[in-house]
Structure 1
């Protein structure tokens, strides 16, 4: 698709600047400002998308008002050009801003794609439809590419070689020693002669050969033993400390094993995730409500299945996960016999049902209270009385007509996409806040 959404709206005649490039530049400057606001608060991505998609959005909507303020800052005489709030122009700028940000920020891309997938089928986009289709397709390809890296299981796992630098050679030295030959000669002579040295052999070999031989052997053994022991003592090698090199080697091996296990775990995470999802689909058990989905009303079960599924998949997941959820919901008993239900009834049930308390808690944590156009979760998580919710309020806050009906799989898929979008931009908001504090 063309890089700039504004030019495509100009091409179909939805925006008319009368051939005045300066007006186009004012619109572009406003889009840049809206991009800055969206990057500062990624949670606005869903609202930007939902407002941009709805030709019937009210001029008093906070998102419209925010965009109008940005437009007036860049185009001070805009009120002289348009007799009323230029909703179509603002919607084009919002779409341009959210698409540009989606190209740069994956979390905004997730929110845009999921919000658009929910909203567009229920609105009349007319000749804008090709622009929306191309924009959603482009960003969805980007999201799926990111998801593939987190879900993929490689055929082979590469582990880096052991990183270890062997220590320098250990020098082993011994003291030099030499025998005192003169002393040794004198001692040996004394062992053989009855007259030499201070400790002569008292026997003469020709008079007492046996006694002499025994005495000689005894004395020579002592002389040689003492000499050898002295040599060994003097040449003894001191203890060598191998503690440091062995400790370094142990740490290197430990780090290598940890990296190998981490690499294996990361490489097989996608396979493990798929295995867990198949187990969940077959068990049909809600970890949030701690009850079998079969024991719940069909639409309540579908809503809880969306919540439980979002807890099992990462923020960046392929579009096929919503289809997987729909197939899982179709396994519920008698689901094919259930008639479609209006969105107003379904939202009221989400507000009243005891079983859906986990969904209300999650919605309250993920999205703020509704002030203008936003997801159904903003109503589900922050509306105290279902009786206070009427068709007009639902249409104003969520852009969905009260007459819109859902099947159980469609209801579960809608809530799953809203949860996915809210979680993605919520995580991005948290990271942005931490960077600002740092």
Structure 2
């Protein structure tokens, strides 16, 4: 297993508080591995644990913190004697290390962690571990971006494969044939018999050709024919139909693979063109397929959420960061004051407005719940359905009500939440 750099960053920063105790190091490493093994089987929990680990002020009663504490106690049984209450810093370090370990080996988990964390990173308080979390976001962001650029690339493939592009090798059959030889002994025996006395009239060569010549001709020709037939049959036996089939099948398999590769590259390029065309059409029309009205007719306060809901329908699971900018630029094209920031409590107040609640109630998706620490999108859905109050924003999301944000930032958070939810639902359905 590769070295977990986030674990050692946390260790070097002395957040684990274990000094140079090798036993403690092994115990915490075992806890990280145990947690990673558990989270790997449940993508929903990956998101929940990510949300919990991001917040330096996460309550020690949070389910993710409690579950991690129980794992640590299995390896470090005396931890309760050292700390009067669960050590939040150590437990968050365990969670972040496990998440990093998962994201480094699995692209899908990397996307879930990055989409979850990137939208919230500018609004939650990280504390002294800011640089460590920034490292996770930077590395995972690069991995997601590289994967997205490869998937969205137009490539150099032609629209249709040409004979020149196929570059097929000539058909070459390699057959191992046995040598062909006439059995000299058998042939000699047959010719000797033919040259002997004609048995019916007891005539030999000296008696002329009337009786002996036909005898010699028929007997000699029969012997020669038999010798040749035996030799040819032996040669034919060395020609294996299996060998011919194998060589020919291999040749056409190569043709098939070449065609598949050519069509795959062409199809990938066509998909990329189609995606870009849909996004450009969406930006040009400024039309909500969800509410069936122009974006210019929708209140600026709820428009970020509506646009994110529309946009996610056009996107695959992997999207480049440029899509975030497409979203924010499109919002700015509709509402020219999009960059103005205001406290989250004011920015989100519209979701308690009865008219806006009626507008959004049937369109805001009910995302998978993480309980005491959940996504902003699910929280807003619950507010719209009068299940929660905006006064509980910080309690449930970790986002401080007084932190300033723009409508554009809200749109990106919702988009990332929806992308993450789709990844989780697809994994559960598989």
Compute the TM-score of the two structures, normalised by the length of structure 2. Answer: 0.72
Alpha-carbon shift at residue 2 of structure 1 (Å): 7.4
CA contact under 8 A between 2:338 and 2:408: conserved in structure 1?
no
Alpha-carbon shift at residue 347 of structure 1 (Å): 4.6
The match for 1:113 is: 114
Task: Tell me, yes or no, if structure 1 residue 291 matches structure 2 residue 290.
Answer: no
The match for 2:349 is: 345
SS of residue in 1 equivalent to 2:84: coil
Superimposed CA distance per residue, residues 136-166 of structure 1 (whole angstroms, 9 cap, x where no aligned partner)? 1111111112111210001233848599x99
The match for 1:270 is: 272
How is 1:88-127 mapped onto 2 (pairs within 5 angstroms)?
A: 88-127=89-128
Question: Larger Cα Rg: Structure 1 or Structure 2?
Answer: 1
The match for 2:4 is: 3
CA contact under 8 A between 1:373 and 1:397: conserved in structure 2?
yes
SS of residue in 2 equivalent to 1:30: helix
Alpha-carbon shift at residue 351 of structure 1 (Å): 10
How is 1:136-175 mapped onto 2 (pairs within 5 angstroms)?
A: 136-157=137-158, 159=161, 161=166
Bigger CA drift: 349-358 or 253-262? 253-262
SS of residue in 2 equivalent to 1:426: helix
Alpha-carbon shift at residue 403 of structure 1 (Å): 2.4
Alpha-carbon shift at residue 277 of structure 1 (Å): 0.6
CA contact under 8 A between 1:298 and 1:335: conserved in structure 2?
no
Alpha-carbon shift at residue 336 of structure 1 (Å): 4.4
- Return the alpha-carbon distance in structure 1 between the equivalents of residues 338 and 383 of structure 2: 31
- Return the alpha-carbon distance in structure 2 between the equivalents of residues 132 and 35 of structure 1: 17
SS of residue in 2 equivalent to 1:315: coil
- Return the alpha-carbon distance in structure 2 between the equivalents of residues 256 and 104 of structure 1: 30
Task: Tell me, yes or no, if structure 1 residue 355 matches structure 2 residue 380.
Answer: no
The match for 2:243 is: none
SS of residue in 2 equivalent to 1:355: helix
Question: Is the alpha carbon distance of 1:124 and 1:337 closer, same or farther for their aligned partners in structure 2, counting shifts above 3 Å?
Answer: closer
Question: Is the alpha carbon distance of 1:68 and 1:390 closer, same or farther for their aligned partners in structure 2, counting shifts above 3 Å?
Answer: same
CA contact under 8 A between 1:108 and 1:425: conserved in structure 2?
no
The match for 1:133 is: 134
- Return the alpha-carbon distance in structure 1 between the equivalents of residues 393 and 74 of structure 2: 32
- Return the alpha-carbon distance in structure 1 between the equivalents of residues 89 and 413 of structure 2: 26
CA contact under 8 A between 1:8 and 1:131: conserved in structure 2?
yes
Task: Tell me, yes or no, if structure 1 residue 53 matches structure 2 residue 61.
Answer: no
CA contact under 8 A between 1:288 and 1:308: conserved in structure 2?
yes
Compute the TM-score of the two structures, normalised by the length of structure 1. Answer: 0.70
Question: Is the alpha carbon distance of 1:90 and 1:153 closer, same or farther for their aligned partners in structure 2, counting shifts above 3 Å?
Answer: same
- Return the alpha-carbon distance in structure 2 between the equivalents of residues 135 and 255 of structure 1: 39
Question: How many corresponding residue pairs?
Answer: 343
Alpha-carbon shift at residue 127 of structure 1 (Å): 2.8
Question: Is the alpha carbon distance of 1:298 and 1:402 closer, same or farther for their aligned partners in structure 2, counting shifts above 3 Å?
Answer: same
